[in-house]
Amino acid sequence: GNSVTQMEGPVTLSEEAFLTINCTYTATGYPSLFWYVQYPGEGLQLLLKATKADDKGSNKGFEATYRKETTSFHLEKGSVQVSDSAVYFCAPAESQGNLIFGKGTKLSVKP
């Protein structure tokens, strides 16, 4: 099956800093790729997605580009806010449709 390797955390940044969370995956074919975010005590929220090579997913200032050459889907944001503090999960889809989740990267943003 597919697998995913996600940058280990925790990551601590100051407000307005640039964020990158690395994600690489192994897969047969070209799976749909997702980033989910989990705030304390809550379930997962879909942050962004890309369904084919070179697609760029974006939402709330976050972006990620589907790079099939490097099998990567790195998450970026130009200027983080305190409210972005959460755990971020990279998740490629298996061929059967279920998601494979990375270990998660905890982000803390300090004012």
Partner 1 sequence: KAGVTQTPRYLIKTRGQQVTLSCSPISGHRSVSWYQQTPGQGLQFLFEYFSETQRNKGNFPGRFSGRQFSNSRSEMNVSTLELGDSALYLCASSLDRTAYGYTFGSGTRLTVV
Are the CB atoms for 53 and 30 separated by under 8 Å?
A: yes
Q: How many Å apart are CA 26 and CA 54, to the nearest integer?
A: 17
| Smallest distance, partner 1 to C-beta of residue 79, A | 26
Indicate the residue among 75 and 93 with the shorter CB distance to partner 1.
Answer: 93
Q: Which of 27, 93, 107, 109 binds partner 1 (CB under 8 A)?
A: 93
Number of other CB atoms surrounding residue 58 within 10 Å: 15
Indicate the residue among 13 and 100 with the shorter CB distance to partner 1.
Answer: 100
103 binds partner 1 (CB under 8 A): yes
Are the CB atoms for 49 and 103 separated by under 8 Å?
A: no
Are the CB atoms for 50 and 32 separated by under 8 Å?
A: yes
The label of the residue with tokens 């990158």 reads 20
| Smallest distance, partner 1 to C-beta of residue 9, A | 13
42 binds partner 1 (CB under 8 A): yes
49 binds partner 1 (CB under 8 A): yes
Indicate the residue among 77 and 89 with the shorter CB distance to partner 1.
Answer: 89
What does residue 4 show for φ and ψ, rounded to 5 degrees?
-140, 140
Of 12-20, 60-68, 72-80, 102-110, which part binds partner 1 (CB under 8 A)?
Answer: 102-110
